[in-house]
RNA sequence: GGGGUGGUAGUUCAGCUGGUUAGAACGCUGGCCUGUCAAGCCAGAGGUCGCGGGUUCAAGUCCCGUCCACCCCGCCA
């Protein structure tokens, strides 16, 4: 139906007659001349209707409205001197229409098709087909395609096989809440949608496929965030006969190719490597945004020299005091400091102590500290006149967590975060276990198939299991062969070297207080597979949505997903989820406990 | 489950200490207009003020409840 895409028409086409198709993006009707921007996926080109060229077609052109679908045939000509539009690629030319075919009409739109839309997100999602016509969103979708393509090309070049794994699968314990699918043929039984293809990809390694990957939907029935959807896409891969650094260097190269292919950007400096403990110490987070420093400093040792009860009590109860230097913010008013305090409290801290470095030190708590202590603290934080020092005292976890959030907030306020800068980091040497205080047991920090560090293996296998009752046992010192990759403060991926020996896996379940019977029902198929010559293997999964969001400079993964869901996990376009017929439920052997409220 | 912000024309918003005819811009409809590209000018249509209840002579405005959207905590790697 067409000879060319609208956005591709150039001066080299001048003189030729072209058929073009697209949508009427905007029309400018002068009574005499009518200009219409014809838009397709590639961009826009101006088409002109003149009464002198064809009076009948010109008459028809008056009737064209926004988003009418047109096919036109006309001669490309250079625009008259002075009427060129340098702001669009096709701005030197226009198409004089000699044939017009209105392929479809459009009702007036609920919102305008333009980049700077003012429409609410709900309205945009309800009419996503219109939203996707907006160039910014369209470009995000194209960017996503390019990312996936770069990944496929790269992994293919490295000998990876794309293998599909089941979507109707088995509910697994630990981790997120499952989406369940009732089985018609097996009354009372349910499939779960996969939270990840974890078990299957390990089985593929036992199968001898050596290198597997998949760009695959995963499902987790948890509450949503700007960077979390109930269904999301992972770049999932697994390799046999590898060590941690084999996986890391593979992904390094893959990420570099993605940046090059998608953004045309060379990532030259090697990605940072931080041990988990170091990341927590310096940034209070295992996904630090390394685009700025603003590091946390432990001042526990220094502030012992004081009579400030809050700090002293915290320290004697095993807590710590850490602070950071908000450069130049000594000018903050009492109100601004109160607001920061409230913010930190909303993150879980009891309070926020502040000391302004001016000629002297200005602070409600300064009087509790000897002068040399204040100086020593200021030295530790490298505070100069005009700076604001902020401190949180609490259990290490609370201190790190709240200061990490405060750091991110201040990074924004101090304009330390630049767009167009991409800082990648590997976080390694994670603890294998994490104490769950509610359930009074250890949980796997990554997942229960993660291998302990080789040097910790003997202790792992031999230690007294009576230690499992307490949060401070030797168990917390065992490290995992796990690694996360972090981009600009977002965790974009994580993986590990897996356990490939049955005895080690059994031991792991014992540590997690999962009985052999339970382990057998939940993932007996993997355990059995491990007994038949499972090779050493490991892998990683990257969040495609988050990666593309960052590449696109978007604020939410919803902007890089064609049909996203709202915070209540509803699709405004299709209105899923919805109620179903009683008959369908009956076939599935299930009954809903929910009673629809009366609608009088 | 909890905290915060918002919900008024098709859209984005304004609407004060409650006061009788709820406004603006864009969009839409009609007219004029031969070089616009956010076209311009003139005229017009368009409202369940999210929903339910309450207080009041009187509610977009005050109170209670509820629904929806977004951000965050919990939850989730």
Least confident of A230-244, A429-443, A531-545: A429-443
The reply to whether the CB atom of residue A109 sits less than 7 A from any atom in nucleic acid chain B is yes
Per-residue pLDDT averaged across A103-112, rounded? 94
Residue A539 has pLDDT above 50, yes or no: yes
Q: A33: helix, coil or strand? A: coil
> CA A277: distance to chain centroid?
23
Residue A599 has pLDDT above 50, yes or no: no
DSSP A161-199: EE----SSB---SSSSPPPEEE-SSSTT-EEE--S-SHH
DSSP A381-407: TT--TT-EEEEEEE-HHHHHHHHHHHH
pLDDT confidence of A198, banded at 50, 70, 90?
Answer: very high
Residue A111 has which token pair? 């919102």
Q: Which of residues 396-435 of A touch strand B (CB under 7 A)?
A: 401, 405, 434
Nearest nucleotide from residue A111 CA, by C1' atom: B11
Burial class (CB in 10 A: 0-12, 13-18, 19+), A335: exposed
pLDDT reported for residue A27: 93
Closest protein residue to B35 (Cα–C1'): A83
Q: A1: helix, coil or strand? A: coil
pLDDT reported for residue A596: 62
The reply to whether the CB atom of residue A535 sits less than 7 A from any atom in nucleic acid chain B is no
Count of CB atoms within 10 A of residue A28's CB?
A: 10
| Intra-chain end-to-end CA distance of chain A, in Å | 53
Residue A21 has pLDDT above 50, yes or no: yes
pLDDT reported for residue A526: 94
Q: Do A239 and A247 touch, CB atoms closer than 8 A?
A: yes
Q: Do A494 and A425 touch, CB atoms closer than 8 A?
A: no
Residue A20 has which token pair? 């073009």
The reply to whether the CB atom of residue A122 sits less than 7 A from any atom in nucleic acid chain B is yes
Q: Sign of dihedral through CA atoms A369, A375, A378, A384?
A: positive
- In order of A269, A420, A503, the CA distances from A406 in angstroms are 28, 23, 44
Residue A174 has pLDDT above 80, yes or no: no
- What is the tens place of the pLDDT at every residue in A459-468? 999 888 777 7
The reply to whether the CB atom of residue A574 sits less than 7 A from any atom in nucleic acid chain B is no
- What is the tens place of the pLDDT at every residue in A408-453? 988 888 888 888 899 999 999 999 998 887 778 888 999 999 999 9
Residue pointed to by tokens 């038949």:
A532
Which alpha helices (DSSP H) does A414-534 contain, by range? Answer: 457-462, 502-511, 516-530
pLDDT confidence of A600, banded at 50, 70, 90?
Answer: very low
Q: Do domains A6-104 and A292-413 have the same CATH topology?
A: no
pLDDT confidence of A598, banded at 50, 70, 90?
Answer: very low
Identify the helix (H) or strand (E) that includes residue A204.
Answer: helix A198-206
pLDDT confidence of A343, banded at 50, 70, 90?
Answer: confident
Burial class (CB in 10 A: 0-12, 13-18, 19+), A35: middle
Residue A65 has pLDDT above 50, yes or no: yes
Residue A595 has pLDDT above 90, yes or no: no
pLDDT confidence of A597, banded at 50, 70, 90?
Answer: low
DSSP state, A219? E
Q: What percent of chain A has pLDDT over 90?
A: 81
> CA A430: distance to chain centroid?
21
> Domain locations in chain A?
6-104, 292-413
Q: Which of residues 222-251 of A touch strand B (CB under 7 A)?
A: 222-228
Q: How far apart are CA A146 and CA A152, in angstroms?
A: 10
Residue pointed to by tokens 């509910």:
A171
Contacts of A281 (CB under 8 A, 6+ apart): A296, A298
pLDDT confidence of A150, banded at 50, 70, 90?
Answer: very high
CATH (residue range A6-104): 2.40.50.140
Chain B, protein-covered positions (CB within 7 A): 1, 3, 10-13, 26-29, 32-40, 68-77
Nearest nucleotide from residue A444 CA, by C1' atom: B77
- In order of A149, A233, A256, A367, A392, the CA distances from A146 in angstroms are 5, 15, 14, 60, 44
| Pick from A320, A477, A481: nearest CA to A396 | A320
Taking the CA of residue A478 and the C1' sugar atom of nucleotide B16, their distance in angstroms comes to: 64
**Count of H-run helices and E-run strands, chain A:** 17, 22
Mean pLDDT, rounded, of chain A:
93
- What is the tens place of the pLDDT at every residue in A267-300? 998 999 999 999 999 999 999 999 999 999 999 9
What's the pTM?
0.94
Burial class (CB in 10 A: 0-12, 13-18, 19+), A519: buried
Nearest nucleotide from residue A33 CA, by C1' atom: B34
- What is the tens place of the pLDDT at every residue in A39-49? 999 999 999 99
Q: How far apart are CA A185 and CA A188, in angstroms?
A: 9
Burial class (CB in 10 A: 0-12, 13-18, 19+), A557: buried
Residue A129 has pLDDT above 60, yes or no: yes
pLDDT reported for residue A379: 95
Q: Do A75 and A16 touch, CB atoms closer than 8 A?
A: yes
Count of CB atoms within 10 A of residue A454's CB?
A: 11
Rg (CA), chain A: 30
Under CATH, what is the fold of the domain A292-413?
Answer: Gyrase A; domain 2 (3.30.1360)
pLDDT confidence of A56, banded at 50, 70, 90?
Answer: very high
pLDDT reported for residue A173: 66
pLDDT confidence of A584, banded at 50, 70, 90?
Answer: very high
SS3 of A325-358: EECCHHHCCHHHHHHHHHHHHHCCCCCCEEEEEC
Q: How far apart are CA A488 and CA A291, in angstroms?
A: 6
């Amino acid at each position: 139906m067409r000879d060319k895409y609208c956005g591709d028409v150039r001066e080299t086409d001048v003189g030729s007659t072209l058929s073009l198709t697209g949508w009427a993006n905007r029309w400018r009707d002068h009574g005499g001349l009518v200009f219409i921007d014809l838009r397709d996926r590639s961009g826009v080109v101006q088409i002109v209707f003149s009464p002198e060229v064809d009076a009948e077609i010109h008459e028809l052109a008056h009737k064209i409205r926004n988003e009418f679908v047109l096919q036109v045939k006309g001669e490309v000509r250079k625009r008259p001197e002075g009427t060129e539009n340098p702001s669009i690629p096709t701005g030197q030319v226009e198409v004089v229409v000699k044939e017009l075919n209105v392929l479809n009409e459009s009702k007036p739109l609920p919102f305008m098709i333009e980049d700077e839309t003012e429409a609410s997100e709900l309205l945009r999602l309800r009419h996503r087909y219109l939203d996707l016509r907006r160039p910014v969103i369209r470009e995000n979708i194209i960017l996503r395609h390019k990312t996936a393509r770069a990944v496929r090309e790269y992994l293919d070049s490295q000998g990876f096989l794309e293998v599909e794994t089941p979507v109707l699968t088995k509910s697994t314990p630990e981790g997120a809440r499952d989406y369940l699918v009732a089985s018609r043929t097996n009354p009372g039984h349910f499939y779960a949608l996969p939270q990840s293809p974890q078990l299957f990809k390990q089985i593929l390694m036992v199968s001898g496929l050596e290198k597997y990957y998949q760009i695959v939907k995963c499902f987790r029935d948890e509450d949503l965030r700007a960077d979390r959807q109930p269904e999301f896409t992972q770049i999932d891969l697994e390799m046999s006969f590898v060590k941690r650094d084999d996986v890391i260097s593979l992904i390094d190269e893959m990420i570099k190719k993605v940046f090059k292919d998608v953004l045309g950007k060379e990532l030259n400096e090697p990605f940072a490597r931080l041990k988990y403990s170091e990341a927590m110490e310096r940034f209070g987070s295992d996904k630090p945004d390394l685009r700025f420093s603003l590091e946390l400093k432990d001042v526990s040792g220094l502030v012992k020299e004081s009579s400030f009860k809050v700090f002293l009590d915290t320290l004697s109860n095993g807590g710590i005091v850490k602070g950071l230097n908000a450069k130049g913010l000594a000018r903050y008013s009492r109100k601004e400091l109160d607001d920061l305090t409230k913010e930190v409290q909303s993150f879980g801290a009891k309070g926020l102590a502040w000391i302004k470095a001016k000629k002297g030190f200005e602070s409600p708590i300064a009087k509790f500290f000897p002068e040399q202590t204040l100086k020593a603290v200021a030295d530790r934080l490298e505070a100069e006149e005009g700076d604001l020092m902020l401190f949180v005292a609490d259990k290490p976890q609370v201190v790190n967590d709240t200061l990490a959030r405060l750091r991110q907030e201040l990074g924004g306020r101090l304009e330390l975060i630049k767009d167009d800068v991409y800082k990648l980091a590997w976080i390694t040497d994670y603890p294998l276990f994490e104490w769950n205080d509610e359930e009074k047991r250890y949980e796997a920090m990554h997942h229960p198939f993660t291998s302990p560090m080789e040097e910790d293996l003997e202790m792992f296998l031999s230690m007294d299991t009576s230690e499992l009752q307490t949060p401070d046992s030797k168990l917390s010192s065992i490290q995992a062969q796990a690694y996360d990759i972090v981009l600009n403060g977002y965790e974009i991926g994580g993986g590990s070297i897996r356990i490939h020996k049955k005895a080690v896996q059994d031991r792991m379940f014992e540590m997690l207080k999962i009985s052999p019977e339970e382990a057998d029902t939940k993932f007996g198929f993997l355990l059995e597979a491990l007994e038949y010559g499972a090779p050493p293997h490991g892998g990683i999964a990257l969040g495609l949505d988050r990666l593309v969001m960052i590449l696109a400079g978007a604020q939410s993964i919803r902007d890089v997903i064609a049909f996203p869901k709202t915070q209540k996990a509803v699709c405004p376009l299709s209105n899923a989820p919805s109620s179903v017929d009683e008959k369908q439920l009956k076939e599935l052997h299930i009954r809903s406990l929910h009673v629809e409220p009366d609608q009088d």
